[in-house]
Structure 1
């Protein structure tokens, strides 16, 4: 993994770059656009963590993590994980997604967590292989039409 990779907060200076980020057209049905993620971050500021993924000065992706969300709404199952991952069209297959997941895992560990939760669209055109390759295991749950997966953190 190149050492030039880093995360950057969303600021007024990079906001336009963030909202202009696009996945491949054939993936648009798999992940919400960055603008929707930033709107969700605005209404849930205490539990979400939106970041740009940068390679040197180039923005190559976007992630949004969540921390200590009451998963079932019953006050008994609090989870942290990856809510969104958008890697720019033409930038996939270079390790940026792996870097994003590892960065979220590092932040969860820093906050005392031991598991990383995410969800993905199943099917041949979805990212199932990517997440399984990183060690995620389906929990048997769904979130809407998405598969929920869990990664135990060492």
Structure 2
């Protein structure tokens, strides 16, 4: 069973050791970078980012990092959640874990853990066809915007 577990002293090093396939390296920041970013945000922002280890039973197989924006903070002038990192370790890709884990991520977002929202935003490298297909299968629609060279997609909640 797929679960999202808070990053703890027991699993943070496992999260850092997770890797995507070599051909995917340009598509996502390292988990070490993401956890460092999360730490800085925790110390400086009103709401901390939401970082989770993606687990299959007790085994860490992936990582996700999300955030909440008010309408004033958002680039899109609406209360929203953002998924800025989502990855499944190379050893677990192609086995359906990504789809199950992403469903869990959206399930969590729909509980509005840091406040109300009308949408979810994410972005992905334009050559990352696997990510595009996964996100589209959940109803994400490309907005036509490009952010830091990545395609932006939106899901209405």
Equivalences for 1:68-87 in 2 at 5 Å?
A: 68=69, 70-72=73-75, 76-87=77-88
Equivalent pairs, count = 148
TM-score, scaled to structure 1: 0.86
Q: Which moved more, 1:113-122 or 1:100-109?
A: 100-109
Contact 1:108-1:114 within 8 A present in 2 as well = no
Quote the residue 2:32 is aligned against.
35
2:143 to 130, 139, 151: 139
Kindly report structure 1 stretches of 4+ aligned residues shifted beyond 4 Å: none
Per-residue CA distance 1:87-130 (angstroms, 9 max, x = gap): 10021122322233322322322113231110001126562222
Distance in 1, matches of 2:64 and 2:2, equals: 13
Unmatched tracts of structure 1, length 5 or more: none
Contact 1:53-1:59 within 8 A present in 2 as well = yes
Distance in 1, matches of 2:128 and 2:82, equals: 23
Contact 1:67-1:108 within 8 A present in 2 as well = no
Quote the residue 2:120 is aligned against.
116
Contact 1:8-1:54 within 8 A present in 2 as well = yes
Kindly indicate whether residue 92 of structure 2 is the aligned counterpart of residue 91 of structure 1.
yes
Unmatched tracts of structure 2, length 5 or more: none
Contact 1:139-1:150 within 8 A present in 2 as well = yes
